[in-house]
Amino acid sequence: MKIICIGRNYAKHIEELANEKPEHPVVFLKPDSAILPKKMPFFIPPFSNDVHYEVEVLVKINRVGKHISPKFAHKYYEEVGLGIDFTARDVQAKCKEKGLPWEKAKAFDGSAVIGDFYPKEQFDLQNLSFQLKKNDAIVQDGNTNAMLWQIDELISYVSQYFTIKKGDVIFTGTPAGVGEVKEGDVLIGVLKGKEAFQIKVK
């Protein structure tokens, strides 16, 4: 399986990190070794002093596809969920300064939290609210209506470059409110009132 991640898909998040608004979706990958095993805590890696949470709506691909038209993209997934793209922000900053790839900052072991998935029919995917709570306080409060590119557009775009396969997961971007995690934090993801995951930080 592949983990396909979309960066800079919410305008306010672009602003908070002082990034440039992209002309096209920003795409990067995580290996399957980045998946945090279920019920396991997230361990802050020793190479970073500034790991950030980024909550994101996830899409699970259910069939093989290539060069998919946006009008047919809805046929390629039946479930959506919630997860976290953990980012070593200090490592990322150094990579960006030198024009280097982000993998060390984004694709390290345990950097991809994949929570529960739910049938997409339960939701209005273009108006889907989600939150991240850190120690019971809401730190990110997003809605897919603020996406620069909606889910079907992302699937179509990604499929122009990569063949998508059954089991692949797309991370669709994070809203504003990202921040650092500390040892002892508890992170809870909520997708339209449903608790999709709970992670302890160590």
Q: What is the pLDDT of residues 23-64, one digit of tens each?
A: 999 999 999 999 999 999 999 999 999 999 999 999 999 999
Of the two residues 84 and 17, the one the predictor is more confident about is: 84
Predicted local confidence at residue 95, as pLDDT: 96
CB contact at 8 A, 150 and 125: yes
Count how many domains the chain has. Answer: 1
pLDDT in tens, 16-34: 666 777 899 999 999 999 9
Q: What is the CATH number of the domain that holds 110?
A: 3.90.850.10
How far apart CA 140 and CA 137 sit, in angstroms, is 9
Q: Domain limits at 23?
A: 3-200
